[in-house]
Chain A
């Protein structure tokens, strides 16, 4: 086994060959620390790592680094999400050093939703660097102990580098090449957009395998259980880059009303089962949107428990 690149628990789990299971937590729109702790309780012991979103949908929230520290207090391993929208390269590098100093060992490098969607649409979007360049910058900081500007770093940040991929946005033919760019920039693991179109996902993973990418990076497809038919329709029609096939909606419609949410979880569990068997897939990233309390049940039903200790 290679020398670990970071102090990440996720890295250890993946290196040991376990099927990883990661979760997500959206910080509060305020200083409600208790709300964070409550969400943590649903995740603890049920997932290997928890993504902490960074001003998701361009709405101001408690900063992802500060929330990540609360997760550490609660005994969870955070994945510090960082978007390119809100910080320039100086602030990004400073925050990377800062989180590492406080025991954060994972980062997810993202472009970020455009500020026009959020609660401050007049804001100036920074986008000093893009997500691929951010990946490269973190790798340079970690592996070469150099800042992007070239100066030496005194004690480099040991951080496991994550990136996102959306296999469903067009042009589909290009998506695997964009994955390849992120891998060559230095991504250690990939968490994908929510997967609903399994047929397209199989094809994308196949192409990633054919290009030898799945050997170089751990791919964790995103799984989101549908809570209702309304949510499924909303994601199908309104969320850019989301691909919700009609058959998912038909399945939800095919059960009696009070069993729709249960059917959503059932679909998610079936997806997880298929991903467990899929060549080139190293785990699953569970994103139950504002449904953290369902994580224990989903983890149980998907056969993800107990989580491995390494």
Chain B
């Protein structure tokens, strides 16, 4: 899932300082699971805003809504009837959802309440770890299911570097060395030949905005264009 962190309150408060009536919109998918921008977090943020602005003698009126997915126009459409009632929208979705919301309502300022952080996993309640950088050329088949682009601080394709320290990365003793783990896992699976071969320079496919149209839907897209 996409993992996000809520922005510090003061930053959010500063962004809405010029608005009197604001709609805070949560997203019911990834950011709800990682406890950053779901229905509950919308309620918490709105309470904080109301109290802070009241103390400042500049009260704010806040609305709350949470849609299933802000990265889907079908769900955003639920907001169409109410959006014009507000001076601005605070989106608690990931960067994709925030941008789709801003695209749907181009006349309304849409402001981010979270920092989108990574594609990761739920290690335990409230504990998330980054696993994928969406480089677009997956090598997990070669590396025993451990991503060197994400998990190696230098993103090496032919590691480990000389900084491996008792199985840890040179940047931090608490960070395991990705290539040490790759070696150990492949050794156990008798697949070390995978990494005896030189892995050639990566084809970075995340350097321009990407669009995917599944083959079955190319006609549909052409019709839109």
Q: Give the interface of A toward B (CB within 8 A).
A: 84-85, 89, 111-114, 116-117, 125, 127-133, 136-137, 148, 164-166, 169-171, 174, 177-178, 180-181, 184-185, 193, 240-241
Which of B57-65, B75-83, B107-115, B198-206 lies at the interface?
B198-206
Bound: A85/B166 CA distance, A: 23
Give the residues in chain B near A169, CB-CB below 8 Å: 160-165
In the bound complex, do residue A241 and residue B164 qualify as a contact, i.e. CB atoms below 8 Å apart?
A: yes
Give the residues in chain B near A241, CB-CB below 8 Å: 162-165, 170
Q: Give the interface of B toward A (CB within 8 A).
A: 153-167, 170-171, 180, 183-184, 192, 196, 198-202, 204
Give the residues in chain A near B159, CB-CB below 8 Å: 130
Bound: A119/B179 CA distance, A: 26
Query: Which of these, A111, A136, A166, contacts B198 with CB under 8 Å?
Result: A136
Give the residues in chain B near A136, CB-CB below 8 Å: 198, 200-201
Query: Which of these, B170, B184, B202, contacts A240 with CB under 8 Å?
Result: B170
In the bound complex, do residue A130 and residue B183 qualify as a contact, i.e. CB atoms below 8 Å apart?
A: no
Query: Which of these, A125, A170, A180, contacts B180 with CB under 8 Å?
Result: A170
Bound: A184/B195 CA distance, A: 13
Give the residues in chain A near B180, CB-CB below 8 Å: 170-171
Instruction: Say yes or no: A180-B156 contact (C-beta < 8 A), given A164-B162, A171-B183.
Output: no
In the bound complex, do residue A174 and residue B160 qualify as a contact, i.e. CB atoms below 8 Å apart?
A: yes
Give the residues in chain A near B156, CB-CB below 8 Å: 111, 127, 130-131
Bound: A132/B161 CA distance, A: 10
Q: Smallest Cβ distance from B24 to chain A, in angstroms?
A: 31
Instruction: Say yes or no: A177-B171 contact (C-beta < 8 A), given A170-B166, A240-B165.
Output: no
Give the residues in chain A near B166, CB-CB below 8 Å: 170
Q: Smallest Cβ distance from A137 to chain B, in angstroms?
A: 7
Query: Which of these, A84, A116, A130, A166, contacts B153 with CB under 8 Å?
Result: A116
In the bound complex, do residue B201 and residue A148 qualify as a contact, i.e. CB atoms below 8 Å apart?
A: yes
In the bound complex, do residue B158 and residue A181 qualify as a contact, i.e. CB atoms below 8 Å apart?
A: yes
